[in-house]
Structure 1
Amino acid sequence: MPAFLVAYVRWVERFNWFFGRIAMYSLIALMGVLLWGAIARASGQPPIWTDEMSQFILMGYFMVGGAYALQVGSAVRMDLLYSRWSDRTKALVDILTIGTLLFYLGVLLWGGWESLQYALQYGERRRGLWRPYMAPVKIVMVIGIAMMLLQCTAFLIRDIARWRGKEL
């Protein structure tokens, strides 16, 4: 494989690993928000922002941590035949199926980008009492989808190398 493709794969995997590890610590912030909400409710002063903020933090955790989950192989995989195949057959099937995932993520990124532009242009707010701006959430969503796309292209390059009998 050309050196620039090897460098690309290594850069993407370092990038997603770093931000995936950071995303893991967002669960501490999530626990803090939920704890604050529970204590405030028990004291008779329920805050209006804790439920939505916890949803936003959890969404960020899933979106930014998704590429990391793919990278470390913690995503669920249906394995009826796959484990019996040779490495070259696995690589070929992965090459074919990753195309579908790349298409799906591309459409998702396009829709997320359009939604982000709308949120920025019109100052979109969520309905409810708190009415937070939606742009920060949508920015995290677009970044998370882009990270997944980068990770999937790195997988595609690795699979092509494996199919050709080389390892990166």
Structure 2
Amino acid sequence: MPRFLIVYVRWVERLNYGVGRVAMFSLFALMGILLWGAIARAGWQPQIWTDEMAQFLLMGYFMLGGAYALQLGSAVRMDLLYSRWSDRTKAAVDAVTILMLVVYLGILLWGGIESTLYALEYSERRRGLWRPYMAPIKIVMVIGIVLMILQCTAFFIRDIARLRKVEL
């Protein structure tokens, strides 16, 4: 395999590992916000921002942690046939399915970018009492999709290397 592909795969996996580890710690912020909201409801006037902020943090957690979950193999896989296949057959099937996933993520990215541009252009806000701006969370969504596309391309390169019997 060309050296730049090996460097690309290692760079993408290091990036997604780091972002995923940081995203894991956002759960502590989420717990803090939910705890604050629960205490405020029980003790004094409920805070209008806690539920929506928790939803935004959870969405950011899922989107930024998606590539990390792919990297760790945490995705659900039907193992009826897969476990019986040879490594080359697994690599071939994985390469095809990764291409389908990249197409799906590409369409999702296109819609995400259009939605983000709309939110930025028109200062879109969420309906409700708090009315937070939507652009920041949509930007996080687009970043998460890009990270998943990068991870999928790294997987594709690894699968092609396995088909060629080259170790990365």
Provide the TM-score with structure 2 as the length reference.
0.99
Aligned to 1:167: 167
Counterparts of residues 22-33 of structure 1 (less than 5 Å): 22-33=22-33
User: Identity of counterpart residues, as a percentage?
Assistant: 77
**Does 1:118 find its partner at 2:118?**
yes
1:39 equivalenced with 2:39 (yes/no) = yes
Deviation at 1:157, TM superposition (A): 0.1
Deviates more, 1:68-77 or 1:32-41: 68-77
Secondary structure of the residue aligned to 1:123 is coil
What SS does the aligned partner of 1:99 have? helix
Which amino acid in 1 is paired with 2:145? I
Alignment of 1:1-168 (within 5 A): 1-168=1-168
Measured after TM superposition, the shift of residue 76 of structure 1 is: 1.1
Task: For residues 31-71 of structure 1, give each alpha carbon's deviation from its aligned partner in whole angstroms, at most 9, with x where no partner exists.
Answer: 00000000000013100000000000000000000000000
Over aligned residues, Cα RMSD in angstroms?
0.5
The number of aligned residues is 168
Distance apart, 1:124 and its partner CA: 0.1
In 1, the alpha carbon distance for the partners of 2:136 and 2:76 equals: 29
- Consecutive unaligned residues in structure 2, runs of 5 or more: none
Please give the alpha-carbon distance, in whole angstroms, between the structure 2 residues aligned to 1:167 and 1:71.
17
What SS class does the counterpart of residue 124 from structure 1 fall into? coil
Q: TM-score, normalised by structure 1?
A: 0.99
Structure 1 moving runs of 4+ over 3 Å: none
1:128, 1:11 → 2: CA distance?
41
SS in structure 2 of the partner of residue 76 of structure 1: coil
Paired residue type of 2:57 = I
Please state how far the C-alpha of 1:167 moved relative to its aligned partner. 1.6
- Equivalent-residue separation in structure 2 for 1:166 and 1:140 (angstroms): 35
